[in-house]
Structure 1
Amino acid sequence: MTTACEAPRGGVAPVSKRVMNLAHFMRRAARRQRDETGLVWGERTWTWSELDRRIDAMAAALAARGVTKGDRVLVQAKNCNQLFESMFVCFRLGAVWVPTNFRQTPGEVAYLGRASGATVMICHGDFPDHAAAVRAALPNLRAVVSIGASDLGADYDALVAAYDGRAVAPAPVDHDDPCWFFFTSGTTGRPKAAVLTHGQMAFVATNHLCDLMPGTTDQDASLVVAPLSHGAGIHQLAQVAAGAKTVLLTSDRLDTDEVWALVARWRITNMFTVPTIVKMLTEHPSVDLHDHSSLRYVIYAGAPMYREDQKHALQKLGKVLVQYFGLGEVTGNITVLPPALHEPADGPGVKVGTCGFERTGMQVQIQDEQGREAAPGQTGEICVCGPAVFAGYYNDAEANQRSFREGWFLTGDLGHVDEEGFLFITGRASDMYISGGSNVYPRETEEKVLQHPAVAEIAILGVPDQTWGEVGVAVCVLKSGAALNERDLLSWLESKVSRYKLPKRVFIWDELPKSGYGKVTKKAIRTELEARGCLPVD
């Protein structure tokens, strides 16, 4: 053991792990590709130098409102240039970007504001109720900045104009300094802030370019078809690192014809999405009406893709599909299945059902409940270690204790690897299901349903669905003498949870099947649903 005056064993004194501030990606692109287009949204375009100047101006405006290194900035917005910029505004100040899923309810967003300890909010003008809920939950909120004309607070673009020309030097940061709170429910229903850091995300951007989109340069273009607040935001950070332009859809609603028209117009080379959207895009007639020969990488994640859907997409687009498996806590960096391994036909050597092999710099291990490594082919929990693993959950020691074991992050997913190291996901340790690429945790919705005065018991489970991958099915038991039907319960629930968390069907039973210990078992409920002919839900 060394004293404060001694060098540690090996003769190397501890030093600060200074790393690049991620906002330098934008600064570098502005210097090297000054007058080239960096962002496209509808008919508007911004050069890299314009983007960098706007980011400087907004950073100066937030600094004038007291935002400093470590402060959390809550952002509630649909995809737009201001949302894109806000990531780098926060990074440049050393502040923490806290984006929401814009489809969340005001109450859900207010909870994220409290949980993160946000001091400032950037809010799109379409969400006055969200701003009001956050203000009520955070009485010490310093400011609300409004995107678009509204009375929510100071206008974003007006502030950019007022502070134009004020250069802001990126805040000095260490490897473990937080830059992004990526909200995820982990293995429980209540959202938790996964802390992403500057050093970690520099590795992630490099890894994305290495494993998902090798050869990506400033000659490439990326189309955004998912909210920038989550996985698409990580993908776009990698685009900025490479100097590749980003193209946004004109609205938050997916217009398939617009997608393919933009691919042709801007010679799109890559996009990130989920299997449900790949299916929609490749089954729509417009896929045959526009030139998509520029595409090299169509990256999908968030859920497995049905094999028939995979074959159809390959038939339409060629071998451009890239699959990756990952969680918010590992920023998507667990496995990759590159285009060369996406075969359009089954046959010898084709690994149907795999989500790929380990990402560069990452290690996957299948473990039993005691943490022992499982043999190839043996099912266990998928565990991972490496530089892409997050720093832990913010202010949640219990969740951190539960999620790590001897340095391994426990994903909560079950699977096995084959002799070559290809990973196959075989189930989930939790009841979480994935609908349209979004993780849904039944416990959260169950808690809401139980607030209904007519409901005594509730169980929600995920079942396969051809459109969304999985959807929720709820089984309820009513209180004695109460009356309630499916339509009325869903209508009551709509304002209390996000739409993607709503069950697709609700069944009213006299009782829920229970184990000998009196515990409601979802396996027994699934069996009973099948016996009653309630599955599939269509």
Structure 2
Amino acid sequence: MTAIVQTPPGGVTPVSKRVMNLANFLHQAARRHGKEIGFVWGDTGLTWAELDRRVNAMAAALAAGGIKKGDRVLVQSKNCNQMFESMFACFHVGAVWVPTNFRQTPAEVAYLAQSSGASALICHCDFPEHVAVVREAAPDIRFVISIGASEFGQDYDALVAQHSAETVPMAGVQHDDPCWFFFTSGTTGRPKAAILTHGQMAFVVTNHLCDLMPGTTHEDASLVVAPLSHGAGVHQLAQVARGVKTVLLSGDRFDIDEAWALVEKWRITNLFTVPTIVKMLTEHPAVDTHDHSSLRYVIYAGAPMYREDQKHALKKLGKVLVQYFGLGEVTGNITVLPPALHEPEDGLGVRVGTCGYERTGMQISIQDETGRELATGETGEICVCGPAVFAGYYDNPEANAKAFRDGWFRTGDLGHMDEEGYLYITGRASDMYISGGSNVYPREIEEKILTHEAVAEVAILGVPDRTWGEVGVAVCVLRPQANLSERELLAWMDGKVARYKLPKRVFFWNALPKSAYGKITKKDIRAELEVRGCLPLDHPTQIPA
């Protein structure tokens, strides 16, 4: 008797879907461009063939240490070739790469080790305290590899030499197999591990090359000015896919003069960074003393770029700016604003304040608190779906339940779309405050303050107030040699924004606290205001006249 197979609805029988292991990007580059320089760090220059051999050897070392498919490998390191290689070595054996922000404290890194269930640790020799605390907090860690000579682990380069003659097969992977735990910044609560997968990241790499850097080839070169543990690592993965040379700064300190010297020396064509770093790069005298004509794409993300900073950067660099909006959970793939849409002057047809249109293969929905899609021009939560959305948070069902609604990933950002599908971010839902019953979005007021010639940076926070419920407090950084008082700034703003949006108080600091990735961190500003005795505002207030 012949068995009858029931066809499921839709007529398609689900099958497991094998995809390319992402480590193959490096192997492909080595096959095609083996003799060309693939990586530069100070005096170290490695060809693609040398990188491939080193990664294969480290993969063999991991396998010899018992690391297998699905195991998590924590990496605590500054930017260096070994950290770069560790990503591909983990991918090769099917392990999950778990990079940290190297500026985190030992206790913070120990939490990441514990929460990720790490089995091994690759740690730069400068962080022995981290190793001690991690070992105590995460007993599942079986062995430690040290980048550079140390007493706490096996030397990375010695292991590469020891296993240089060995090969281990590249692990076969399915679309949803994890490859990277991308820890959120933890701006609210403790960091969460966003699970990035081999299939998802293959789409992300393709999308980056399609939407951010069209025409990229092995003749290009990319400068790294941010830690490889987060967005810069995603960006460099896309470079490897096209055989693009990666160039690191020589140290872990951000040296602007060195950055521009490297742009000139290596004919850098693209770099990824955040708006504050673009601002620093283009306001430094070195931008005028080094040739940067090779640049085609200066990609910025992580936060919106204020319009005045955009204008200045465009005047210095020309139309090379590329903005993208995205979160770690969507690996940047939400919108793009390409160079052609970055205009150096305001005028008819210039969309001031937009972060661009939907990335290829991605869809945005502006929703209210119930999940109802809002009309064009209405402000609500920015929700997104598409192949770049992560697989969920590791071992955190509560966070997953909050993050997804009816298949849409909820970004937590507020914004609206215009008739042509351009997105405008109003701010984080947590940044908005209500003053006298009216919603106030700090970014709008920050943009206006930055048009004052004396102000270099600003952040506005909503704080409790007995009269109005909440009012704004502005913290400004002035340009060198500039002078400006609170009363003068508030008087200058009068008439430029509605009165209920005016900050109640303005404070002037020498600098604003920033994350390791160059983002202004408002939670740290709030904490510092409290430490300085500026908060709470103690008495009933009046909106300044």
Q: Give the C-alpha shift of residue 328 in structure 1.
A: 0.4
Structure 1 residues 185 and 221: CA distance shift in structure 2, 3 A: closer
Residue 324 of structure 2 aligns with which residue?
324
Q: Give the C-alpha shift of residue 169 in structure 1.
A: 2.0
Q: Matches of residues 184-333 of structure 1 in structure 2 within 5 Å? A: 184-185=184-185, 188-333=188-333
1:508 aligns with 2:508: no
Contact map agreement 2:58 2:159 (CA 8 A) in 1: yes
382-391 or 140-149, which deviates more: 140-149
Once the two structures are superposed, residues 200-239 of structure 1 have per-residue CA deviations (whole angstroms, 9 ceiling, x without a partner) of 0000000000000000010100000000000000000000
Once the two structures are superposed, residues 401-449 of structure 1 have per-residue CA deviations (whole angstroms, 9 ceiling, x without a partner) of 1110110000001100011111111121125999xxxxx9x9xxxxxxx
Residue 89 of structure 2 aligns with which residue?
89
Contact map agreement 1:103 1:499 (CA 8 A) in 2: no
Residue 21 of structure 2 aligns with which residue?
21
Return the alpha-carbon distance in structure 2 between the equivalents of residues 467 and 194 of structure 1: 37
Structure 1 residues 463 and 24: CA distance shift in structure 2, 3 A: farther
Q: Give the C-alpha shift of residue 464 in structure 1.
A: 5.6
Q: Secondary structure at the match of 1:322?
A: strand
Q: Give the C-alpha shift of residue 307 in structure 1.
A: 1.2
Residue 136 of structure 2 aligns with which residue?
136
Q: Give the C-alpha shift of residue 9 in structure 1.
A: 3.3
Residue 380 of structure 2 aligns with which residue?
380
Return the alpha-carbon distance in structure 2 between the equivalents of residues 224 and 511 of structure 1: 41
1:125 aligns with 2:125: yes
Q: Secondary structure at the match of 1:389?
A: coil
Contact map agreement 1:57 1:160 (CA 8 A) in 2: yes
Structure 1 residues 161 and 465: CA distance shift in structure 2, 3 A: farther
Residue 392 of structure 2 aligns with which residue?
392
Q: Secondary structure at the match of 2:329?
A: helix
Contact map agreement 2:118 2:140 (CA 8 A) in 1: no
Give unmatched runs, 5+ long, in structure 1.
Answer: 435-439, 443-458, 469-497, 514-524, 534-538
Once the two structures are superposed, residues 455-513 of structure 1 have per-residue CA deviations (whole angstroms, 9 ceiling, x without a partner) of xxxx9x99565589xxxxxxxxxxxxxxxxxxxxxxxxxxxxx9977444434379677
Once the two structures are superposed, residues 97-131 of structure 1 have per-residue CA deviations (whole angstroms, 9 ceiling, x without a partner) of 00000010100000000010001000000111111
Structure 1 residues 4 and 331: CA distance shift in structure 2, 3 A: farther
Structure 1 residues 213 and 71: CA distance shift in structure 2, 3 A: same
Structure 1 residues 315 and 6: CA distance shift in structure 2, 3 A: same
The TM-score, its normalising length taken from structure 1, stands at 0.82
Structure 1 residues 321 and 10: CA distance shift in structure 2, 3 A: same
Residue 167 of structure 1 aligns with which residue?
167
425-434 or 78-87, which deviates more: 425-434
1:364 aligns with 2:364: yes
Return the alpha-carbon distance in structure 2 between the equivalents of residues 510 and 221 of structure 1: 47
Structure 1 residues 231 and 270: CA distance shift in structure 2, 3 A: same
Structure 1 residues 208 and 463: CA distance shift in structure 2, 3 A: farther
Once the two structures are superposed, residues 391-410 of structure 1 have per-residue CA deviations (whole angstroms, 9 ceiling, x without a partner) of 00001111111110110000
Residue 430 of structure 2 aligns with which residue?
430
The Cα RMSD (Å) is 2.8
What letter corresponds to residue 241 of structure 2 in structure 1? A
Percent identity of the aligned residues?
71
Structure 1 residues 144 and 10: CA distance shift in structure 2, 3 A: same
Once the two structures are superposed, residues 32-85 of structure 1 have per-residue CA deviations (whole angstroms, 9 ceiling, x without a partner) of 111111100012100111101100101111111110000000000000000100
Return the alpha-carbon distance in structure 2 between the equivalents of residues 4 and 66 of structure 1: 45
Return the alpha-carbon distance in structure 2 between the equivalents of residues 408 and 242 of structure 1: 31
Contact map agreement 1:53 1:165 (CA 8 A) in 2: no
Residue 450 of structure 1 aligns with which residue?
none
What letter corresponds to residue 25 of structure 1 in structure 2? F
Residue 437 of structure 2 aligns with which residue?
none
Return the alpha-carbon distance in structure 2 between the equivalents of residues 303 and 80 of structure 1: 26
Once the two structures are superposed, residues 309-342 of structure 1 have per-residue CA deviations (whole angstroms, 9 ceiling, x without a partner) of 1111101100000001100000000001000000
Q: Give the C-alpha shift of residue 371 in structure 1.
A: 0.9
Q: Give the C-alpha shift of residue 152 in structure 1.
A: 1.4
Return the alpha-carbon distance in structure 2 between the equivalents of residues 397 and 295 of structure 1: 44
Residue 79 of structure 1 aligns with which residue?
79
1:178 aligns with 2:178: yes
